[in-house]
Amino acid sequence: MKRHVEIKWQDETLTATLYVPELGNQAETFPLIVICHGFIGSRIGVNRLFVETANQLIRDGYAVLCFDYVGCGESTGEYGRSGFDQLVAQTRHVLKEATHFPEVNTERIYLLGHSLGGPVALYTAVSEPNIRKLMLWSPVAHPYKDIVRIVGVDTYQRAWQYSSVDYMGYGFTSAFFESLQPYVPLKELQNYTGDVFIAHGTADVDIPVEYCFHYYYAFRSRPTGKSDKEIILEADHTFSDGCSRAMLIDSTREWLSGERYYKQAGGAVTRTLGYSI
C-alpha cells in the first residue's frame, strides 16, 4: 500500500511517497525508514532502486518514506541554489512531518542515505538523537571534494565566474559548492551513538569503495553504537544490476532484523551475499 504525500517546506513543496504494510487494524503502526536520495537524484532512485527497496522493506513490517529534495524529482524549487545545510534542514523537517502520519511508530524512525544522501542522513541523525539506526549506501565521505570531482573542475570553476552553471540540466551556484566545504562526515560520525550499516560496491567509479572502510573503522572507534558493513562484488554506484541490487537489499534487511552477526572486535562474517571483513 502506498500514498502520495506533499510536505510544505518554506516556500517549496517536497513530494514524497509513503509505503506502508497492509494494515491488520486501523490502530496499527510501523517503524519508519526515511530514504535520503543522492546528488541530483530522486525518490524513485536510479532504475527504481528506492521503489524496489521500499517494496521489500514493507514485507518486513516497515513503513518507508521516499522524498524528493527541493528541485529534484517532483519537488518544487531549484536544487543547485541551496546547499548541504539546506538538505539537512529539509530532512529534519520531513522527519518532523512524518511523526504526524498515523501509520508511523514515532519511537522507531530510521534513516537510509545513498551517495550524498549518506552524509546528509548522518548529520541529520546526529541532530536527531531519536534516530537509533542509520544505513549508508555508497556514501560520499568528502562532500566538497567528491562533488567537485563528479561535476568536473571546469564546471566548478565556471560556477564562480557566472551566477549559475549547468550540470545535467541543473543550475548550480558557487554557494552550493561552498556550502559543502565545512562538512567532514568522517569526524562528525563520532557524535552519532546509534547503530550503523554501510554498503558499497567494488565497481563504484563515482565514490571509491575505500570510503566504506574509512566509515566502518571510524564508526567502530566510537565508545557506543554498533557498526557493520557489506562490500558487494562488481556492484556499481547505484547497484544497477539485479544481482547486486538483491545483495544490497537483502543484506540491509538482514541487518535491520538482527540476523547479521555483529563482531565489533573484528573478524570475518560468513555470508552468501557479497562478503564482509
For the chain, the domains span 2-142+183-257
Reported as a single tens digit per residue, the pLDDT across 196-213 is 999 999 999 999 999 999
pLDDT at res. 22? 87
Task: Indicate if the pLDDT at residue 2 is higher than 50.
Answer: yes
Cell of 18: 509513503
Q: What is the pLDDT of residue 163?
A: 87
Contact 176, 81 (CB under 8 A): yes
pLDDT on residue 273: 37
pLDDT at residue 270 in the model: 35
Single pTM value for the model = 0.92
The pLDDT value given to residue 23: 76
Contact 139, 113 (CB under 8 A): yes
Distance in angstroms (rounded) separating the CA atoms of residues 77 and 115: 21
User: DSSP per residue over the chain, as a string?
Assistant: -EEEEEEEETTEEEEEEEE-PPPSSTT--EEEEEEE--TT--SS-GGGHHHHHHHHHGGGT-EEEEEPPTTSTT--S-GGGS-HHHHHHHHHHHHHHHTT-TTEEEEEEEEEEETTHHHHHHHHHHH-TT--EEEEES--SSHHHHHHHHH-HHHHHHHHHSS-EEETTEEE-HHHHHHHTT--HHHHGGG--SEEEEEEETT-SSS-THHHHHHHHHHHTSSS--EEEEEETT--TT--SHHHHHHHHHHHHHHHHT-SPP-TT---B--SSSBB-
What are the pLDDT digits (tens) for 68-114? Answer: 999 999 999 999 998 999 999 999 999 999 999 999 999 999 999 99
- What confidence category does residue 263 fall into, taking pLDDT thresholds of 50, 70 and 90? very low
pLDDT score for 217: 98
Residue among 270, 268, 274 at smallest CA distance from 248: 274
Q: For residues 215 and 221, give the distance between their C-alpha atoms in angstroms, rounded to a whole number.
A: 10
pLDDT of amino acid 261: 52
- The whole-number pLDDT of residue 25 equals 65
Mean pLDDT of 152-179: 95
CATH number for the 2-142+183-257 domain, one of 3.30.70.141, 3.40.50.10190, 3.40.50.1820, 3.30.310.10?
A: 3.40.50.1820
pLDDT value of position 199: 98
Can you tell me the mean pLDDT for 155-182? 95
Each residue's pLDDT tens digit, 49-68: 999 999 999 999 999 999 99
Report the pLDDT averaged over residues 172-189: 97
Mean pLDDT, the chain, whole residue set: 93
